[in-house]
Amino acid sequence: MRSTFLFLLLFLTFGTAGNVLASQPLHHQIEIELQPDSSSLQAVDRVTVVSSSNKSSDIVFFLDKNLKISSLELPSDLSYSISLKEDEPSIHLIHIQKNSQSDWPDPLSLTFHYAGPYATESDKQNPEIFLSGSHNFYPQLNTDAPELMTFEMTTTLPAGWSAVSQGEKSPGLVADTRTRTTWRNAHPNNEIFLIANHYYEYEDIWENVSLQAYLLQDDPELAQRYLTATKKYLAMFSALLGVYPYPKFALVETPGPAGYGMPSFTYLGSRVIRLPFILETSYPHEILHNWWGNGVFYDPRSTNWSEGLTSYLADHFLQAVKGQGPQYRFQELMKYDSYVNAENDFSIDQFRFAESPAEQAIGYGKTLMTLHMLRLQLGDAPFLEGLRRFYKQYRFQYADLKAMRNTFESVSHTDLKYFFEQWTQQIGAPQIELSSAEFSPAGEGFELNLTITQKNSKPYSLQLPIAVWEEGKEQPLLIRLNVKDASQSFRIELLAKPTAVLIDPYTDLFRKLNEGEIPASIGQTYGAQKQIVWPSSEEDKLNSAYQNLAVGLVGNSEMLTGDPSTLPEGSLWLLGRNHPLKEKLKSNLSERGFQFDSIGVTIEGKHYPWAEHGFVFTLPRFDGQKGTLSWIVAGTEKSVPGLIRKLPHYSKYGYLVFKGDAPDNQVKGQWQATPSGREKVFAPGKHILPTQKPLHAESVE
């Protein structure tokens, strides 16, 4: 028997937040009918709470404030009182007070009946329904600790609509006017998603995993490209880390700009999925999130380690397989150098999510580099075994950095306390230089003497890789030095005369780049603490467009006009083809192989007319001061909004060419980096590094 409480008269008393914590995941059995025309829903949710901590006298749930509860059913043999608090800004708090000394039933079953408008943005151009845990469209426990839940959700929608969620879909029932679909997720997740739209659905299978694509246009060729890529990446990551955790993986298209990974599906924008490079970049990243972040969950009260780990094993891993691992890591160091400064720096353990390039440089980039250093310290086999054990032990559970550290310590039998404290709890990065390098004959060989200097106020404890080339040998000697002091000398015995020495040859170490080794990039201008906009005073019809570009680039930063004899400190945005510095800019670029004429610019033998193309060139300041000059020449007035939107995504490049009003990128290039402060050459010659082996490359076809 069950008793029903009707929400007509409400008790006025309201206690403290509930402290019953479910020892097992909650289970939601939801029947939900959605009315897209009115953006409203009607729902019945039977919630089952299994708890070993049921001595508390109260439980509190919360629900979106726009959803009105009509009734709440509880066991009839339970004496209780219910009160509703409605003065919170966006939610109801439903407080259930047990009136007796007896324990709560275990399991405890409650059934909520509610209806009202749902909190999601949609219109005729974008009728999509998107609901997540943050929209509070289902009752959730109000506790201090994050909860996990399983669910079975049956949706009813108008004919022509399809609903997507986590887990496994049961065959739907399609009637003349309604579509009914059930999604079951038996694996604990940290929230429930409900996404609905008019989809074209495509399916395939890999082993026992259902592969699905939900597209907004009938495009079987596009769907097949994604389904084929999904098979490739599921096989790759399963071999690397362990079995894929869900019964399906789906690509879900959304009209707006988006790129998110949810448990068992990814949610990507229409423009994004049609970009040719996404299948090799963002898509595998979102698939891998099913192991990290959506398979093993990070505790939202603690560090978000999942983005850095996913970036290391997807984005970085795929580049490392191509032999581009050092270049990828160097770009991460450049981002840190460009965007992070003393005012916005923070430690890895403070990272939650990235809302700025600086936060991304730390939460993604520094975490990625820390994991890379851990791999090199432990070795590939223990590192990979640690990842597999971490995944197996904490799958469908919350885990923090301490759990990760304990796992790697258990596998490697190594005390990693100092490593994790130094790299995850300490702000900043080491800055190192090869301050001296000399050699002399010693017995039948040679003695190489090096001095390594750290410029930090507090020296780091580093395992510093170095490469030493010897006369008559093609392959360098690769060794590691334990560097702990501000200035430390080392003696290396060699059989042959050294011809060159290079510290951190593969960019294996997270560090602050030395000033001379950083090639100019647009990201450095974006990331400069002081930015000055200097538009041309002689421009024609594009003047207003450049003013909009200035505001779009840096908001209300300092504006410079005229032709000052001395430039202010900082990095400068130079706007316009007829800029006062154009001759100096052209001269510098000509030395780098670019050719300019009245019609356009020639780059690598191809001519690009001014009238059809936009150009972005970033160079070091000419006066020797710290900072960069980014010269922007727009092709058309209509192209400026697109430039404002797109340029931040090209932060690592030194020069760019765009075409048309969109505009579409035609050329992108980087200036050559130099190993300033890291290299000593004793004899000229080819000092070639062998290709660095990627992690477990044999798992990749």
Which residue matches tokens 């991304």? 360
Residues 237, 168 contacting (CB under 8 angstroms): no
Q: What's the half-sphere exposure (Cβ side, CA atoms, 13 Å) at 634?
A: 30
Element (H or E) spanning 189, and its range? strand 178-189
Q: How high is the pLDDT of residue 500?
A: 98
Residue labelled with tokens 């969620």: 165
Q: Where are the alpha helices (DSSP H) in 317-438?
A: 317-321, 325-339, 357-360, 367-378, 380-394, 401-412, 417-424
In this prediction, residue 175 carries a pLDDT of 64
Q: What is the pLDDT of residue 243?
A: 97
Positive/negative CA dihedral, 617, 620, 621, 627: positive
pTM above 0.75, yes or no: yes
Q: Two tokens at 191?
A: 């929230």
Per residue, the 3-state secondary structure of 400-432, as one string, reads CHHHHHHHHHHHHCCCCHHHHHHHHCCCCCCCE
The parts of the chain modelled with pLDDT lower than 50 are: 8-22, 697, 699-701
CA 377-378-381 angle, 5° bins: 140
**pLDDT for residue 16:** 38
DSSP strand E in 190-288: where? 194-197, 200-206, 209-215, 248-254, 259-262, 265-269
135-169: b (≥16 Cβ within 10 Å) or e:
bbbbbbbbeeeebbbbbbbbbbbeeebbbbbbbbb
Query: Pick from 574, 581, 573: which is nearest to 528 by CA?
Result: 573
Helix (H, G, I), strand (E, B) or coil at 303: coil
Bridge-partner residues for 60, per DSSP?
95
CB 143 within 8 A of CB 51: no
Separation CA 61–CA 45 (nearest Å): 12
Could you give phi then psi for residue 248, rounded to 5 degrees?
-150, 160
**Which domains are present in the chain?**
2-198 (2.60.40.1730), 297-424 (1.10.390.10), 432-516+678-693 (2.60.40), 522-669 (3.30.379)
DSSP annotation of 356: S
pLDDT in tens, 521-535: 999 999 888 899 898
The helix, strand and coil proportions of the chain, stated in percent and rounded to the nearest 5, come to 25, 35, 40
Round to whole Å and give the CA distance between 117 and 121.
Answer: 11
Residue 7 has a pLDDT of 53
